[in-house]
Amino acid sequence: MSLLIQNGRIVSADSDFIGDIFCEDETITRLGRGLEAPPGTEVIDATGKLVFPGFIDPHVHIYLPFMGTFSKDDYVSASKAALVGGTTTLIEMCCPSRADEALAGFELSLSQAQGKSACDFTFHMGVTKFDDRTPDQLREIVRRGISSFKVFLAYKGAFGVDDSELYRTLKLARELGVIVTAHCENETLVAERSRELLAAGVTGPEGHHESRPPRVEAEGVHHLCTFAELTGAHVYCVHTSCAEALDAAVAARQRGVKVWVETLIQYLLLDKTYAERPGFEGAKYVMSPPLRDARNQPVLWDALASGLVSTVATDHAPFDFASQKPMGRDDFTKIPNGIPSLEDRVNLLYTHGVATGRLDLQSFVSVASTNAAKLFGLFPRKGTIAVGSDADVVIYDPAYRGQLAVQTQTQAVDYNAFEGWEIKGRPSVVTVRGEVAVREGKFTGTLGRGQLLQREPGH
């Protein structure tokens, strides 16, 4: 199987040129101009198109038992949705409950993906408790190709760890060279403030933000960074939503803590007024940390452009508006947390980042693909267009115009948080290891072809 992509503008994090890409079997084997196609090669004309490395979403939830229910997508719907939107690699949070052993949790997550996913995938291994049995199991999981952990400083009693567990997890991660991703919010403050708000009669989605204001997140980041400083572990703050939390990470970095920052497409584009929409509509926009005051958005965009924020993820966590969000109709603390966006991240980032001039093309590729590949041990197999890399390629049509809508989406959830939003550009062809998996918005790939990516610890 060979594929020749001709005359595209090939954009990686550190290069930008008009040329051709030749892929044999699963790999990019030649780059240049005027490349010859042997008989039997599929030839795709990319004249006028941008050609990007496959995008990586470094923070998704697909199999997620959470808040008394399960997130809606499975690997069939999620991998199709990812690919239609240009994302060719998923890094899922594997989140065992505290009652489960880490190894069993890992195997359960793997079984959800293998044989179903149309794109490649890996996991951040959730460390949701740390007892005598945990270290050996985590070592085994690292031997099986996982090189990042995940801890939750929130959600105590579910996924959250206490400070002793956090310390031990970070010490082990340091020893193994594993990076630790972290949900940073002070759970005690969240619990106390939620109790006060409910007692005062604030029960709707608008209460969610007041229960976990920016300082609650900043305290979580500071807390994580203190532990990272004293253990030497490398850490990554997931879903950073506000200036206060970013400042805490930057301050830690300035004193030598190895900390990286992720934000989400939701925080760049949506603000807390969405969660304040009347009736119960705001529940569509309840996630943690909450959507913030709009003043934070230019701060996050600037931090992306300057490199203070490394990645834009989705934290895709889809819960139906009709049947799942209403679990918290009378109590905002029971609204399943999450705003789906796996399918739309790349197009929204292109539309509101590149097309507006906030991000140049190199930064766009860096924050949506290359930086995640480098941080999480996937580079240069993923995250770039280079000889020897996997032939995961997005041929992107910047002239496309369309609107996001639940009726036309692939992700398996009953609403789109960006309903009616215009997009300027979309993938016209997406390949997964040399196979065309999307043409003009339609999935054409192979379910079950996605592989668990083997990663080596590099921190």
- Positions in the binding site for Zn ion (CB under 5 A): 183, 315
Give yes or no for residue 176 binding ligand URP (CB under 6 A). Answer: no
> Nearest approach, Cβ of 197 to Zn ion (angstroms)?
20
Give yes or no for residue 288 binding ligand URP (CB under 6 A). Answer: yes
Report which residue's Cβ sits closest to ligand URP.
337
Torsion from C-alpha of 292, 305, 94, 149, nearest 10 degrees:
-110
> Nearest approach, Cβ of 230 to Zn ion (angstroms)?
23
Q: What angle do CA 415, 417, 418 make, to 5 degrees?
A: 115
Torsion from C-alpha of 118, 123, 126, 127, nearest 10 degrees:
150
Q: Which is nearer to ligand URP, 245 or 354 (CB)?
A: 245
CA distance 274 to 376: 33
Q: Indicate which single residue of 315, 343, 344, 392 sits in contact with ligand URP (rule: CB under 6 A).
A: 315
CA distance 185 to 221: 7
Task: Return the half-sphere exposure (C-beta side, CA atoms, 13 A cut-off) of residue 285.
Answer: 28
How many other C-beta atoms are found inside a 10 Å radius of the C-beta of residue 45? 12
The H or E element that residue 406 is part of is none
Q: What is the DSSP string of 107-143?
A: HHHHHHHTTT-SSEEEEEEE-----TTHHHHHHHHHH
Give the contacts of 260 (CB within 8 A, at least 6 positions apart): 179, 234, 235, 236, 237, 310, 311, 375
Q: Indicate which single residue of 61, 212, 292, 374 sits in contact with ligand URP (rule: CB under 6 A).
A: 61
The counts of H helices and E strands in the chain are 13, 19
Q: Which is nearer to Zn ion, 183 or 272 (CB)?
A: 183
81 binds, among Zn ion, ligand URP, none (CB under 5 to 8 A by kind): none
337 binds, among ligand URP, Zn ion, none (CB under 5 to 8 A by kind): ligand URP
> Nearest approach, Cβ of 49 to ligand URP (angstroms)?
34
With 0-12 CB in 10 A as exposed, 13-18 as middle and 19+ as buried, what is 75? Answer: buried
Nearest to 184 by CA among 157, 152, 161: 152
Q: Which is nearer to ligand URP, 287 or 437 (CB)?
A: 287
Give yes or no for residue 338 binding ligand URP (CB under 6 A). Answer: yes
Q: Which is nearer to Zn ion, 21 or 283 (CB)?
A: 283
Q: Which is nearer to ligand URP, 287 or 354 (CB)?
A: 287
Q: Indicate which single residue of 184, 287, 304, 393 sits in contact with ligand URP (rule: CB under 6 A).
A: 287
CA distance 240 to 309: 9
Q: Which is nearer to ligand URP, 315 or 392 (CB)?
A: 315
> Nearest approach, Cβ of 289 to ligand URP (angstroms)?
7
Q: Which is nearer to ligand URP, 46 or 335 (CB)?
A: 335
381 binds, among ligand URP, Zn ion, none (CB under 5 to 8 A by kind): none
Report which residue's Cβ sits closest to Zn ion.
183
Give yes or no for residue 183 binding ligand URP (CB under 6 A). Answer: yes
Q: Which is nearer to ligand URP, 236 or 364 (CB)?
A: 236
> Nearest approach, Cβ of 125 to ligand URP (angstroms)?
15
Q: Which is nearer to Zn ion, 237 or 453 (CB)?
A: 237
CA distance 375 to 309: 12
> Nearest approach, Cβ of 400 to ligand URP (angstroms)?
30
Q: Which is nearer to ligand URP, 337 or 409 (CB)?
A: 337
Q: Binding-site residue total for ligand URP (CB under 6 A)?
A: 9
CA distance 50 to 7: 10
338 binds, among Zn ion, ligand URP, none (CB under 5 to 8 A by kind): ligand URP
Please name the residue that has the structure tokens 């199999």. 63
Q: Which is nearer to ligand URP, 44 or 189 (CB)?
A: 189
Binding to ligand URP (CB under 6 A) within 390-429 occurs at none
CA distance 116 to 114: 5
> Nearest approach, Cβ of 440 to ligand URP (angstroms)?
31
User: DSSP secondary-structure letter at 316?
Assistant: B
| Phi, psi torsion values for 350, nearest 5 degrees | -65, -50
CA distance 285 to 301: 20
Tokens linked to 431: 């390949």
> Nearest approach, Cβ of 119 to ligand URP (angstroms)?
20
Give yes or no for residue 118 binding ligand URP (CB under 6 A). Answer: no
Please name the residue that has the structure tokens 């994090």. 13
Give the contacts of 246 (CB within 8 A, at least 6 positions apart): 240, 261, 299, 300, 303, 308, 309
> Nearest approach, Cβ of 61 to Zn ion (angstroms)?
5
Which residues here bind ligand URP, judged by CB under 6 A? 61, 183, 239, 287-288, 315, 317, 337-338
